[in-house]
Structure 1
Amino acid sequence: MSAAMQRNDRVRRLPPEVNRVLYVRNLPFSMSAEELYALFGKYGAIRQIRVGNSKDTRGTAYIVYEDIFDAKTAVDHLSGFNVQNRYLIILYYNSTRHKTKVGLKDQEAELRRMQEKHGVDGEQHATKKK
């Protein structure tokens, strides 16, 4: 069997959610990008690491591998891995899920803006106290 056929066979066996971009949660806040390169670089060539630095994104990172199989190997080996007494949560990046989250935040902000504009507190349909 040729190398191209073996690679195509491997690609067909991967679940559809597998991709080169990993979303890592529950990182120690003190962990640097260099430490992430050292930890995740054991499983293959890394194209990019983005570490969250705002209040909402601290403890998270995006890691982009050059090869999808390296990303899968990293997920298989590092999910639940203990780093500085924290267990890593590693997910494959899902753009649909990310857009939905952003959409919900926008909708919540719009709802609050409309409530303020019309003087409604959002509790008008709650049961009244007697």
Structure 2
Amino acid sequence: MSLAYRKSRTGQLPPNVNRILLVKNLPFKITSEEMYDLFGRYGAIRQIRIGTTQKTRGTAFVVYEDIFDAKEACSHLQGFNVMGRYLVVLYYQTNYKAKKVDLSKEEERVERLRRQYKSMSKDDEDVLD
């Protein structure tokens, strides 16, 4: 193994990089074997899940064993032409949906804190008088 290769494997990664890739704009007729052939060039794959429902067709999740393999695949396969379609390869962000869903809960929490601190400030005024 060359020294340059080892250096790149130990470098600092951006916080959004993870082992799970979200692949969009896949041809509908692509098989799992073709996916393993295409993405397996960049490292060991733990799992590939291809969307099968009407809503998820053309997308897939690719889970690598190593985060550096996922980084290589993402950088090399972004915009790659497969059966006349250009792939969109992104790192899967798990907390993105959670932030959207919890907005109402967060607003309720803030309102409770406002009421709590408002009542505390009234108690403090009574002590000062």
Q: 1:86 to 1:20 in 2, by over 3 A?
A: same
Distance in 1 (CA, whole Å) between partners of 2:99 and 2:60 is 19
Tell me which structure has the larger Cα radius of gyration.
2
Deviation at 1:80, TM superposition (A): 0.3
Q: Which amino acid aligns with 1:45?
A: A
User: The residue matched to 2:57 in structure 1 has which SS?
Assistant: coil
Deviation at 1:10, TM superposition (A): 4.5
Instruction: State the 4+ residue runs in structure 1 displaced beyond 4 angstroms.
Output: 9-12
Q: Per residue, is there more helix in 1 or in 2?
A: 2
Q: Which runs of 5+ in 2 are unaligned?
A: 1-5, 105-129
Deviation at 1:69, TM superposition (A): 0.4
Matched, 1:61 2:23: no
Distance in 2 (CA, whole Å) between partners of 1:78 and 1:52 is 19
Deviation at 1:11, TM superposition (A): 4.8
Distance in 2 (CA, whole Å) between partners of 1:42 and 1:86 is 19
Deviation at 1:78, TM superposition (A): 0.3
TM-score normalized by the length of structure 2: 0.69
- What does 1:48-127 correspond to in 2, within 5 Å? 48-100=47-99, 103=101
- What does 1:6-85 correspond to in 2, within 5 Å? 10-85=9-84
Q: 1:15 to 1:46 in 2, by over 3 A?
A: same
Q: 1:34 to 1:53 in 2, by over 3 A?
A: same
Q: Which amino acid aligns with 2:60?
A: A
Deviation at 1:40, TM superposition (A): 0.2
% identical aligned pairs: 57
The number of aligned residues is 98
Q: CA RMSD in A?
A: 2.1
Q: Which runs of 5+ in 1 are unaligned?
A: 1-5, 108-130
Distance in 2 (CA, whole Å) between partners of 1:100 and 1:51 is 25
